[in-house]
């Protein structure tokens, strides 16, 4: 098999001077230039002692150099570990102690906070959004390394942390085979090729922005218009030369708010892809009415990459996520017995295929618990109707998805419960007009305690990334429980459904 790095290098030889990266107000960077940058970074990684199987942890702003670092990590056979730029120092401590990386790359502005992490086994370097930082300086002087370390399909390429419903975050280990097979399936499915210009406004520390968007572009020879953050007007302005946009549902909710989103503005666009969270059927219909484009919704997960997609040709159904990608099998299983359920009935969505991850880093029991007869249990509830389309109807796992970011209530509840004056808490997702779901904490104070929501908010600020912090706090006398003593979150969601309306 060929790795994503090898596929990129091969494409770069063909594409040569064609732009891979375009950025507003900055010069374009071609495939050939990027290839040299990747090869220089590969030399630097070697100089820093990074060898096969070492982890390279990266918490940097989005830039072509950050993507080059990702590709260089694959080239030298190391394992790429991207981290959300919103993570706090406390959150980083855990990822670094669990993954024991050989190298940690952070933003130059953060180096003071992280310099003390450096040790005989961990190098700390910096990389900024403007090709600055110690790693960029080293790369500028390095001699390009052309050879790549041969890797097989089962060799690990990346670790992405995803929180669990119990306890600590788990590092999902994705292999070279996972990444390459998924990119190839998506290229075929969405007819994506070197003629495309992808408007890239997603972060590059999750599978959506990195293993879907970036991998597809670097392998196919497409050009990416790299934007540092989502800005509806900027994106609409770029559509006259763009062909593809990939986004979370919040992108589409926000685009629809602009009067400039019109049929004319989107005339050059070929396809709008949505995923990472449920797209509202009303947004789907409104987008079609306004632009004439049917958004193409797909379904994926960190542990599996992309699983299913509505067809490029053929009917795209609002509220459905389509069929399994080429080579990917999807089934609906009974929650208790694991037996396949009859057509149209609700059960757990389970997945098998070359896209499914190898397991959680150093957690064999947790890995085993999420597989049944070779099928990976997604924790999502769905149906496959007689039309063959998969529809996601809910979640068996306790998870909130806010603006496309996953937030695990358990992690937040544990931190809130440890605060003075708190008896217990329940964190829930409530319908939110912009983010899909708004993270909300229902808190029961200890008898006699006088809880102040501002104090609660500031107590969480250095412990949790901003997107995980509750948007609202609700004080309650007690939490609703069933006869087994389990907190009834569905009841809480019903009682407070209109909080953000």
Listed ranges 273-281, 356-364, 366-374, 452-460: which one lies at the site for ligand AMP (CB under 6 A):
273-281
Classify 414 as helix, strand or coil. Answer: helix
Q: Does residue number 224 form part of the binding site for ligand AMP (CB under 6 A)? A: no
429 touches ligand AMP (CB under 6 A): no
Q: Binders of ligand MLC: how many residues, by CB under 6 A? A: 22
Which of these segments, 16-24, 39-47, 78-86, 298-306, binds ligand AMP (CB under 6 A)?
298-306
- Binding-site member from 42, 129, 232, 392 for ligand AMP (CB under 6 A): 392
The answer to whether 376 touches 303, Cβ cutoff 8 Å, is yes
Q: How many CB atoms lie within 10 A of CB 481?
A: 11
Q: Which of 402, 113, 403 is nearest to 251 (CA)?
A: 403
Stretch that binds ligand MLC, among 67-75, 265-273, 380-388, 401-409 (CB under 6 A): 401-409
Nearest to 208 by CA among 191, 186, 232, 177: 186
Is there binding between residue 322 and ligand MLC (CB under 6 A)? no
Q: Give me the residue whose beta carbon is nearest to ligand MLC.
A: 403
Q: Is 200 in the site for ligand MLC (CB under 6 A)?
A: no
**CB of 405 vs ligand MLC, minimal distance in Å:** 4
- The closest of 199, 241, 237, 238 to 217, measured between CA atoms, is 199
Residue 395 binding ligand AMP, by CB under 6 A:
yes
Q: What is the DSSP string of 283-339?
A: HHHHHHHHHSPPPEEEEEETTTEEEEE--SSSPPPTT--BEEPTT-EEEEE-TTT-P
- Which residues sit opposite 245 in a β-bridge? 199, 272
Q: Tell me: does residue 87 bind ligand MLC (CB under 6 A).
A: no
How far apart CA 302 and CA 178 sit, in angstroms, is: 11
| Among the listed residues 45, 136, 321, 439, the single contact to ligand AMP using CB under 6 A | 321
Examine residue 275 and tell whether it contacts ligand AMP (CB under 6 A): yes
Report the alpha-carbon angle 215-75-46, nearest 5.
140
Whether the Cβ atoms of residue 82 and residue 58 lie closer than 8 Å to each other: yes
Per DSSP bridges, beta strands 323-324 and 305-309 are: antiparallel
Q: What is the C-alpha to C-alpha distance for residues 297 and 284, in angstroms, rounded to an integer? A: 9
Q: Which does 321 bind (CB under 5 to 8 A by kind): ligand AMP, ligand MLC, none?
A: ligand AMP
Task: Based on the shown chain and the rule CB under 6 A, indicate whether residue 309 belongs to the binding site for ligand AMP.
Answer: no
**Binding-site partner at residue 208 among ligand MLC, ligand AMP, none, CB < 5 to 8 Å by type:** ligand MLC
Token reading at 21: 């990266």
How far apart CA 149 and CA 156 sit, in angstroms, is 13
Give yes or no for residue 276 binding ligand MLC (CB under 6 A).
yes
**Under 8 Å CB-to-CB from 76, ≥6 apart: which residues?**
42, 45, 46, 50, 51, 52, 145, 148, 149
The residue length of the chain stands at: 501
For residue 300 the two structure tokens come to 């994926």
169 binds, among ligand AMP, ligand MLC, none (CB under 5 to 8 A by kind): none
Residue 55 · residue 32 · CB < 8 Å? no
Q: Which residues 230-259 are close enough to bind ligand MLC by CB under 6 A?
A: 230, 248, 250
Contact partner, 9, from ligand AMP, ligand MLC, none, Cβ < 5-8 Å per class: none
Does residue 169 belong to the site contacting ligand AMP (CB under 6 A)?
Answer: no
Complex with ligand MLC: residue 139 or 307, whichever CB lies closer: 307
Nearest to 184 by CA among 271, 82, 306, 303: 306
The footprint of ligand AMP on residues 396-425 (CB under 6 A) is: 401, 406
Binding mask 440-469 for ligand MLC (x = CB under 6 A): --------------------------xx--
Between residues 347 and 403, which has the closer beta carbon with respect to ligand MLC?
403
Which of the listed partners (ligand AMP, ligand MLC, none) does 380 bind, with a CB threshold of 5 to 8 Å by partner kind? ligand AMP
Report the residue number, 133 or 404, with the smaller CB distance to ligand MLC: 404
**Over the range 258-279, which residues count as b (16 or more CB within 10 Å of their CB) and which as e?**
eeebeeebbeebbbbbbbbbbb
500 belongs to the binding site for ligand MLC (CB under 6 A)? no
Residue nearer to ligand MLC on the CB measure, 64 or 203: 203
In this complex, which beta carbon is closest to ligand AMP, that of residue 85 or of residue 134?
A: 85
Among 5, 170, 176, 206, contact with ligand MLC (rule: CB under 6 A): 206
Question: What is the binding site for ligand AMP (CB under 6 A)?
Answer: 162, 275-278, 297, 299-302, 321, 378, 380, 392, 395, 401, 406
Question: What is the binding site for ligand MLC (CB under 6 A)?
Answer: 202-203, 206-209, 229-230, 248, 250, 275-276, 300-302, 402-405, 435, 466-467
């Amino acid at each position: 098999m060929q790795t994503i790095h090898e596929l990129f290098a091969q494409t770069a030889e063909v594409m040569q001077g064609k732009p891979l990266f375009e950025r507003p107000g900055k010069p374009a960077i071609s495939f050939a230039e990027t290839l040299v940058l990747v090869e220089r970074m590969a030399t630097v990684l070697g100089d820093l002692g990074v060898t096969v199987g070492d982890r390279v942890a990266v918490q940097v702003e989005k830039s072509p150099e950050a993507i080059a670092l990702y590709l260089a990590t694959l080239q030298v056979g190391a394992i790429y570990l991207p981290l959300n730029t919103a993570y706090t120092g406390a959150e980083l401590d855990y990822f670094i102690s669990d993954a024991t990386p050989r190298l940690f790359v952070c933003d130059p502005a953060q180096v003071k906070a992280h310099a003390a992490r450096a040790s005989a086994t961990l190098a700390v370097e910096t990389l900024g959004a403007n090709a600055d930082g110690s790693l960029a300086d080293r790369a500028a002087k390095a001699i390009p390394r052309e050879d790549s370390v041969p890797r097989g399909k089962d060799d690990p390429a990346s670790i992405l942390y995803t929180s669990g419903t119990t306890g600590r975050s788990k590092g999902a280990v994705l292999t070279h085979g996972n990444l390459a097979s998924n990119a190839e399936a998506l290229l075929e499915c969405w007819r994506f090729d070197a003629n495309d210009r992808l408007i890239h406004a997603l972060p590059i520390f999750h599978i959506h922005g990195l293993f879907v968007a970036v991998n597809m572009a670097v392998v196919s020879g497409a050009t990416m218009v790299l934007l540092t953050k989502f800005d509806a007007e900027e994106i609409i302005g770029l559509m006259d030369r763009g062909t593809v946009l990939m986004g979370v549902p919040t992108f589409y909710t926000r685009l629809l708010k602009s009067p400039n989103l019109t049929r004319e503005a989107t005339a050059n666009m070929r396809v709008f892809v949505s995923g990472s969270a449920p797209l509202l059927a009303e947004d789907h219909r409104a987008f079609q009415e306004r632009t004439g484009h049917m958004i193409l919704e797909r379904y994926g997960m960190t542990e599996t990459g992309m699983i299913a997609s509505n067809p490029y040709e053929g009917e795209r159904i609002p509220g459905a996520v389509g069929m399994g990608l080429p080579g990917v099998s999807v089934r609906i299983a009974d929650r208790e017995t694991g037996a396949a359920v009859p057509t149209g009935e609700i059960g757990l969505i389970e997945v098998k295929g070359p896209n499914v991850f190898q397991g959680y880093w150093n957690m064999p029991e947790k890995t085993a618990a999420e597989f049944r007869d070779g099928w990976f249990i997604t924790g999502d509830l769905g149906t496959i109707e007689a039309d063959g389309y998969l529809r996601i109807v809910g979640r068996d796992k306790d998870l909130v998805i806010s603006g496309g970011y996953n937030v695990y209530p358990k992690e937040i509840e544990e931190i809130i419960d440890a605060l003075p004056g708190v008896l217990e808490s329940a964190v829930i997702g409530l319908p939110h007009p912009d983010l899909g779901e708004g993270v909300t904490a229902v808190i029961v104070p200890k008898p006699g305690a006088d809880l102040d929501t501002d104090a609660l908010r500031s107590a969480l600020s250095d412990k949790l990334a901003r997107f995980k912090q509750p948007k609202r706090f609700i004080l309650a006398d007690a939490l609703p429980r069933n006869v087994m003593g389990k907190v009834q979150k569905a009841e809480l969601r019903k009682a407070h459904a209109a909080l953000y309306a």
